[in-house]
C-alpha cells in the first residue's frame, strides 16, 4: 500500500522539511480514516448510509487496518 506523500515538485521546494510534512500527511490520513470507521459504526445503528457509501467506507477501513498493522 502506498503511503501518503507530497508531490515531487513540492518535496523538492521544501527540501529537508518534506519528510516532516509527509509524516504529518500520514497522521492526517489515519485520523480521517478513523472518522470513516466511526461513521460506519454509527451507521450500524442508524442505517443512514447508502450501500455505495458503505462499500467505499469499507475499502477505506481496509486501508486504515493496513496502516495500523504497519505500526506493530
Query: Residue 42 CB: number of other CB atoms within 10 A?
Result: 12
CA-based nearest residue to 14, from 24, 28, 27:
24
Domain span at 43: 28-72
Residue 45 counted as domain residue: yes
Grid coordinates in use for 37?
Answer: 470507521
d(CA 67, CA 57): 15
Say if 41 falls within a structural domain: yes
Q: Is position 58 within any domain?
A: yes
Residue whose C-alpha cell reads 460506519 in the numeric block? 40
**pTM above threshold 0.85:** no
Interval 26-44: pLDDT, tens: 888 899 999 999 999 999 9
> Quick check: is 18 in a domain?
no
Q: Does any domain span residue 11?
A: no
**Residue 4's pLDDT band (cuts 50, 70, 90):** low
Specify if 64 maps to a domain: yes
Structurally, the chain folds into a number of domains equal to: 1
Rounded Cα gap, residues 42 and 23, in angstroms: 29
With cell 442508524, the residue in question is 46
Residue 62 lies in a domain: yes
In a domain, 19, yes or no: no
Amino acid at each position: 500500500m502506498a503511503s501518503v506523500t507530497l508531490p515531487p515538485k513540492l518535496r523538492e521546494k521544501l527540501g529537508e522539511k518534506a519528510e516532516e510534512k509527509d509524516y504529518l500527511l500520514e497522521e492526517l490520513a489515519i485520523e480521517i480514516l478513523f472518522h470513516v470507521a466511526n461513521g460506519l459504526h454509527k451507521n450500524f445503528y442508524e442505517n443512514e448510509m447508502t450501500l455505495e457509501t458503505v462499500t467505499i467506507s469499507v475499502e477505506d477501513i481496509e486501508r486504515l487496518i493496513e496502516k495500523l498493522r504497519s505500526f506493530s
